[in-house]
Amino acid sequence: MIRIHVVQPGDTLWRISRRYGVPIESLIQLNRPPYPNRLTPGQALIVQTPPPVTPPPPPPQRYVVQPGDTLWAISRRFGVNIDAMVRLNHLTNPNLIYPGQVLLIPSPVPPATPVPPETPPYPARVNAYLVIQGESDRATLQGTNAALTFVSMFTYSFQIDGTLVNAYDRPALETARAMTLQPILTLANYNLTANMFDSELAHAALTEPEAQDRLVSQLLDQLARKQYSGLNVDFEYVRPEDREPYNAFMRRLDQLVHSRGLLLTSALAPKVSAIQVGTLYEAHDYPVHGQVDDYVVLMTYEWGWVGGPPMAIAPLDQVRRVLDYAVTAIPRQKILMGVPIYARDWQIPWQEGTLAEDLTVQEAVRRAIDQGAQIQFDPVAQSPFYRYTTRSGQQHEVWLEDARSLAAKFETVREYGLGGVSFWTLPADFPQVWPLTADRFIVQGQERNATASPEPKA
């Protein structure tokens, strides 16, 4: 069982290890703290506690029978069961004992110490997007300790005429198969030159028949040749007027992908209603994707985005608003709730046009320790944050994720009865993610191989 310890003033790894009865080496292995000899108040650590051990009963007492004794009277005197005395002493006639006879008196069974019931792990499918980087992808995937069902390779893009732009995914594919993970090809309208999602690319693929035919043909070829388990469509900032063409595109993929025994998934913006306006939202039709997809990834993050004011990246109160709508439009077991595994640092007071600095979670914790900052926890957002001031006098505010915020999100998946979670993004310098995922979830779907038929759609 994994417990979460929030560092208090004066805590050291040695003191924490003594408190929970675990080796310091276990704490270091699970958390890989940036500074093992320096902690900061508010830092969250996970602790793998051993299961409770029932101590053996004490040895039986020896009693010499006195004149006038009966077995019944002796059992009452010591508060033990008479049948237990008969068995322990191998008495053939319980009514026949004699003075001077030595009897063994069983130790009374102590009352059981009540143990609070543990919530059993929740069966869930776990996806993570892997930003393809080549040979280093092997170590990245191995570092997840197989606490995944799917790994979605980000990304395959395409040109305006529909020509697919391949990615160097061989190391990741080989590693995924060796770990029995299901590799998913991600197709995105991502302009690799501009390093951004491109509405024009999506428009061409959705509305130009020749471009779409070329894209679909090359896509199906890649899925077959590389033995992917399925396809993830991540079209973002699609023009509102392209909503129906996008729906038609997904229905076409539904027929073609499923006829080949592969999974179809898509990534959708975090909407709170069917009529939510904005380029990010309007073309994402929850009911249609919920109908044709095997799983839908809800991108429930980026409230605290790089170009906006400082706030939690995935505040749980806002995530719940999205889920409240999503479960009315998409079957619950098809929903994979998005979970960010990164951090951001904003200069404050924030000014329009300034950009936050992206950090890994470990970098954010290290910075808190270096700056002497105490990590706080927002009870509404269920997210940690801290503030610090540089030597030049510049103030900063950092929002990150930690074991507490992850546990709260995982419990939300259970509460809503969802299909699982989807992490954005690998590689992630956040060692607590994988042991906590394995502790809170029974990770589903690893028994499938790369060419297995998909499960029936709900």
User: pTM, whole model, 2 decimals?
Assistant: 0.86
SS3 380: coil
CA distance 224 to 230: 10
pLDDT band at 147 (very low <50, low <70, confident <90, very high): very high
Catalytic-residue membership of 352:
no
Strand ranges (E), 317-401: 335-340, 343-348, 357-359, 376-378, 383-389, 395-399
Q: Give the pLDDT score at 458.
A: 33
Q: Would you say residue 163 has pLDDT above 50?
A: yes
SS (H, E, C) 283-299: CCCHHHHHHHCCEEEEC
Torsion angles phi and psi, residue 191, rounded to 5: -80, 105
Joined together, the tokens standing for residue 5 give 């310890």
405 membership: H or E segment, kind and range: helix 403-416
Q: Would you say residue 250 has pLDDT above 90?
A: yes
Q: Give the pLDDT score at 57.
A: 75
| Nearest alpha carbon to residue 452 among 169, 150, 232, 219 | 150
Give the tens place of pLDDT for each residue, 321-346: 999 999 999 999 999 999 999 999 99
CB of 231 within 8 A of CB of 253? yes
- Mean pLDDT (whole number) for 236-251: 98
- The size of the chain, in residues, is 458
Q: What are the structural domains, with CATH classification, of the chain?
A: 2-48 (3.10.350.10), 61-105 (3.10.350.10), 122-341+408-443 (3.20.20.80)
- Maximum distance among all alpha carbons in the chain? 107
- Mean pLDDT (whole number) for 400-406: 98
Q: Which among 118, 210, 236, 455 is annotated as catalytic?
A: 236
Give the tens place of pLDDT for each residue, 275-320: 999 999 999 999 999 999 999 999 999 999 999 999 999 999 999 9
Give the tens place of pLDDT for each residue, 85-132: 899 899 888 888 999 999 999 886 665 555 555 689 999 999 999 999
55-59, 105-109, 410-414, range with greatest mean pLDDT:
410-414
